Amino acid sequence: MTRIPSLPLPCRIATPDPEPVASPSVPMGLPPLRDLQAADGPRLSIALMDGGGRLQDRGAVAALGWSPGDRLLITLVRTSVVIRRRPDGVFVMPRKPYVALPAPVRRGCGALAGSRLLLVADPIHDVLIVHPEAAVQAMLRIFHTSLAAPEEAS
């Protein structure tokens, strides 16, 4: 049996850490949930997501007034996705009025092709919030638990 000699690995050269660069503050969190019954309140819909991450709901995009070429900032917040129209956004609205979730975002929120997602389009805040099935199920569990709790006497 022939023995393969081990090769010495090159020494690692230590490089100084770069100076931290202050980045501008980007609002990444969720806006407050406004009254869903208000005339100008958020629009709720359920969208099917295809294999390319496209959300099959043109109504949400129309309600927001987003147009082809608008720049979008797409952020994962826990298991939900917050999409804002911003001039420094990395993603661009395509010619067809659909929003597409990038693959890393889809993986992060657990959305698969064929998933149904709850969309909350809020024109006042110019934001689209996407909740995957697991997040909606968690919200419903909490709500149903509260329904089962005995009411407190006033």
pLDDT score recorded for residue 19: 45
DSSP letter assigned to residue 97: S
- pLDDT tens digits, 11-47: 443 333 444 434 334 445 666 666 666 667 789 999 9
Distance CA 30, CA 127 (A): 9
- Alpha-carbon distance 127 to 124, whole Å? 8
Distance CA 91, CA 48 (A): 20
pLDDT tens per residue, range 96-141: 989 999 999 999 999 999 999 999 999 999 999 999 999 999 999 9
Q: Taking 90 as the threshold, does the pLDDT of residue 9 lie above it?
A: no
Question: Which class for 126: exposed (0-12), middle (13-18), buried (19 or more C-beta within 10 A)?
Answer: middle
How far apart are the C-alpha atoms of 64 and 124, rounded to whole Å?
Answer: 8
The pLDDT confidence band at residue 63, using thresholds 50, 70 and 90, is very high
Check whether 80 has a pLDDT greater than 50. Answer: yes
Res 91: pLDDT: 95
Predicted pLDDT at 150? 76
